Amino acid sequence: MPFHTSLSGEDSAHYLALIGDAAVIRRHAEFLRWLQGDVQQYLPHDILLAGWGNFQEKVIHHDVLSWLPGVRSYAVGTDGLPFLLSRFYDCWVDAGRKPCSLSFDQFEGLLGQSSLPGSFSSALRRMRSVLIHGLRDERSQQECIYILLCAHEIPARPASTAIGVLMPCIDAALRQLPHLPQQKQISLKSLQHAQDEALGLSERESQIMDWVAMGKTNSEIGCILNISAFTVKNHMQRIFQKLNVFNRAQAVSKINRVTLNG
């Protein structure tokens, strides 16, 4: 999809009104109402995912904004969201840090084939269009990534113009919102550091658990890491022993608790 940021004259007044409304947002509810209002005319979406932090070290905070039931920032099924955001970030970097879209097949590939629990994961499976953009703060060296997901096709126009015009407003509005209680608890340790030191996982085991959190099967993980599914299965058995858990969902949940609580 080609993207352009030129602003058409006929829409100038509408964009200015949206920018003005965004400038006074101070609460999550106000932000969601703004997103579900006239913004939908230019950037139609059902879910907005936001991620920020140090993507190289996997210290990633997140927010989820949506009108869909159960699709909330820390709902059941969001354990693997930081890892998913890091994959969206990679797509954005590969696109030269410019707005980009994913095909349905590409998005399905990121989600994997296994089912994860909760209405959040179910809602993600229903999405068909993905639009990605981000911003980099050169002063703090922090990057933010924003993903718009829609159950229907996001039209190239006006989205190709709106993504460039409204993304700074979305970013500025989110920076004005107070942290959610769970966000205040997030440790500054990276996920890798938490796994290695607190849980005793090897580098390879940590890699495997990253993909497990995304719902990948043993066969899929084997293809990604260029090892056999049998080898992945053996790694999983050792991981279960180290974490004192019985299944994949418990393993992901335990790692997430360590990452959040330190």
11-178 CATH, one of 3.30.1330.10, 3.30.450.80, 3.30.930.10, 3.40.47.10 = 3.30.450.80
Q: Tell me the average pLDDT across 19-29.
A: 92
At 116, give phi and psi (nearest 5°).
Answer: -105, 155
Indicate if the pLDDT at residue 188 is higher than 50: no
191-261 adopts what CATH topology? Arc Repressor Mutant, subunit A (1.10.10)
Q: The pTM is what?
A: 0.72
Give the model confidence (pLDDT) of 119-157 as tens digits.
888 899 899 999 999 998 887 778 999 999 999 999 988
Give the model confidence (pLDDT) of 98-117 as tens digits.
999 998 888 988 887 555 56
Please tell me the distance from the alpha carbon of residue 109 to that of residue 232, in angstroms, as a whole number: 19
129 contacts: CB under 8 Å, gap ≥ 6? 101, 104, 149, 150, 151, 152, 153, 154
**Quick one: pLDDT band at residue 167, thresholds 50, 70, 90?**
very high
Indicate if the pLDDT at residue 71 is higher than 60: yes
Mean pLDDT across the chain: 83
Q: What ranges do the domains of the chain cover? A: 11-178, 191-261
